[in-house]
Amino acid sequence: MRYKRTVVASFRLGTTLCALLAPSASWAQGVPPLAERLQLCATCHNPDGNSTIPDNPRLAGQDAAYLARQLADFKNGSRPSPVMAGIVGLLADEELKPLAEFFSEQAPAGPTGAADDAAQAPGRQIFDEGILGSAVPACSGCHNDDGSGTEKYPRITGQHARYVVQQLMNFRSGVRANDGRAVMQAVAKRMNEQEIQAVAEYVATLKEEEEQ
């Protein structure tokens, strides 16, 4: 009898220890080191997050909380992306924050777009002043004059024009509807494709203003 009770007790102790030592199921299955994960991201976003492929956003210097939330939203499906859904499906929840922090800490490279003042003029006007006739607010009002954003608004300085067009089209159609209080959906729904194209070309030429 005594022996039996001891076996039961030690079995219970063993289970408790296992639970204490394994904080999550994914840990038990083995989350790969950050460096290994980063190799996967680098194939599309470059090792420092300054992606050179115009469909893939630049992540370098972006607000970490924003990046982490986008990863979580790809994972829960509230921001649909056939490409990123497959990627985040491989990641454990506890990997999202360190990945976001890594890319946030990387130095952003210069603008992806070529500055051509004549071609940029209509885009610059939308960015700085909005579109009066259709009540589009100035992008600079939220994203800053140089697109560098704030804690509340993501950085868009020098972002690839193609990616910016795609996102504005997704906000406009409601495919991307994970923006708080539908702020960006409201902005994009008031714009036509030509205006979206123009402002995206201008966004791609933006450079970070020197710190005063």
CA distance 13 to 35: 36
Report the chain's C-alpha Rg in angstroms: 22
How far is CA 166 from each of CA 5, 7, 55, 148, 163, rounded to the nearest angstrom? 65, 62, 8, 20, 5
Locate 59 and state its tokens.
Answer: 């992540």
Question: By CB under 6 A, which span of 11-19, 20-28, 110-118, 141-149 interacts with ligand HEC?
Answer: 141-149
Locate 61 and state its tokens.
Answer: 């210097």
Check residue 129 for interaction with ligand HEC (CB under 6 A).
no
Give me the torsion for CA of 162, 163, 168, 173, rounded to 10°.
100
Binding mask 86-105 for ligand HEC (x = CB under 6 A): -x-----------x------
Count of C-beta atoms within a 10 Å radius of residue 61 = 21
**Closest separation in Å from C-beta 40 to ligand HEC:** 5
Question: By CB under 6 A, which span of 3-11, 13-21, 80-88, 112-120 interacts with ligand HEC?
Answer: 80-88
Question: By CB under 6 A, which span of 18-26, 28-36, 49-57, 107-115 interacts with ligand HEC?
Answer: 49-57
User: Where along the sequence are the contacts to ligand HEC (CB under 6 A)?
Assistant: 37, 40-41, 43-45, 55-57, 59, 62, 67, 70-71, 81, 83-84, 87, 99, 126, 136-137, 139, 141-143, 153-154, 156, 164, 166-168, 178-180, 183-184, 187, 199, 203
